[in-house]
C-alpha cells in the first residue's frame, strides 16, 4: 500500500460512509482527510504528497461531476475515485471519459476501493515525479547561453551542424563546440536524448517537420 507521505481525501455527505472509509484507511496506516461537503474540501489546503480523491457523485448543491470539471479547469490534477448509491451508467461514462480512476456503486467491496486508491496514489506519485523532472529540465535549459539555446532548438528540428552553421553564420566547428557545451549542461548523453529533452520542453512546435 502507499507510503507514509500519501493522503486519501474523502468527500461524502453521509457521515456513516465517511466514518467507515476513514476507519478502513486508518487501519492500514493510510493518511486520510474527511469532508462532509465540496465547499469544505475547497476551503482546505491540499497535502504536499501524493493524493487521490474518493468522491460521492451525488451531494446537495455541487455534485461530484461539478467538482471534477472545476478541478480540471483549474489544472488541479487529482486522481478521482467516484462512489455512488445510485447506479447511473451515463454518469459513470461521463466521469471515466474525464479521467476518473474508478466508478464504484455502493455497497462496494473494501478491496475494490483499496485497489482503486492504490492505483490513484500511484498515478499521482508518477505525475509528481514527472513534474519534478520537468522543472529540473527547465532549469538546465535556462542555464544555457542564448547561442546554446538556439543551437539546441536547431538540433531538435533535425538540422545538421553544417546547416546550422550556414543558417546562423558561424563556423561548423563552433556549432559543435556550443552543442557539446549545451549537452553537458543539459546532462544529455547523446543527440537522441537531447532531442527527447527538447520534446519534453516543447521547444519545437508539433507541426515542425524534422529532417
**What's the whole-number mean pLDDT along residues 108-127?**
94
In the structure grid, which three cell numbers stand for residue 124, read together? 499521482
Residue from 78, 193, 75 nearest 137 by CA: 193
pLDDT score of 87: 65
Q: What is the rounded CA–CA span in Å between residue 113 and residue 119?
A: 10
Q: Quick one: pLDDT band at residue 207, thresholds 50, 70, 90?
A: low
What's the chain's average pLDDT? 89
What pLDDT score does 139 carry? 96
Q: State yes or no: pLDDT of 46 exceeds 90.
A: no
Residue 170 C-alpha cell reads as 558561424
Checking if the pLDDT of 211 tops 70, the result is no
pLDDT surpassing 80 at residue 210: no
Nearest one of 108, 113, 202, 81 to 153, comparing CA atoms: 202
The answer to whether residue 109 scores a pLDDT higher than 80 is yes
Amino acid at each position: 500500500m502507499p507510503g507514509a507521505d500519501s493522503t486519501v481525501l474523502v468527500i461524502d455527505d453521509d457521515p456513516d460512509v465517511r466514518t467507515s472509509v476513514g476507519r478502513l484507511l486508518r487501519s492500514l496506516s493510510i493518511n486520510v482527510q474527511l469532508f462532509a461537503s465540496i465547499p469544505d474540501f475547497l476551503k482546505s489546503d491540499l497535502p504536499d504528497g501524493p493524493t487521490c480523491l474518493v468522491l460521492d457523485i451525488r451531494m446537495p448543491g455541487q455534485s461530484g461531476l461539478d467538482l471534477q470539471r472545476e478541478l480540471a479547469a483549474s489544472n488541479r490534477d487529482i486522481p478521482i475515485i467516484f462512489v455512488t448509491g445510485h447506479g447511473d451508467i451515463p454518469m459513470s461514462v461521463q466521469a471515466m471519459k474525464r479521467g476518473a480512476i474508478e466508478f464504484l456503486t455502493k455497497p462496494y467491496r473494501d478491496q475494490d476501493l483499496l485497489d482503486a486508491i492504490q492505483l490513484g496514489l500511484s498515478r499521482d506519485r508518477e505525475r509528481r515525479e514527472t513534474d519534478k523532472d520537468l522543472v529540473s529540465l527547465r532549469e538546465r535549459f535556462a542555464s544555457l547561453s542564448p547561442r546554446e539555446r538556439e543551437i539546441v532548438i536547431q538540433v531538435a528540428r533535425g538540422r545538421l551542424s553544417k546547416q546550422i552553421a550556414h543558417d546562423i553564420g558561424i563556423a561548423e566547428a563552433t556549432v559543435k563546440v556550443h552543442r557539446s557545451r549545451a549537452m553537458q549542461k543539459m546532462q544529455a548523453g547523446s543527440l537522441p536524448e537531447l532531442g527527447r529533452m527538447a520534446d519534453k520542453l516543447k521547444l519545437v512546435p508539433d507541426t515542425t517537420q524534422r529532417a
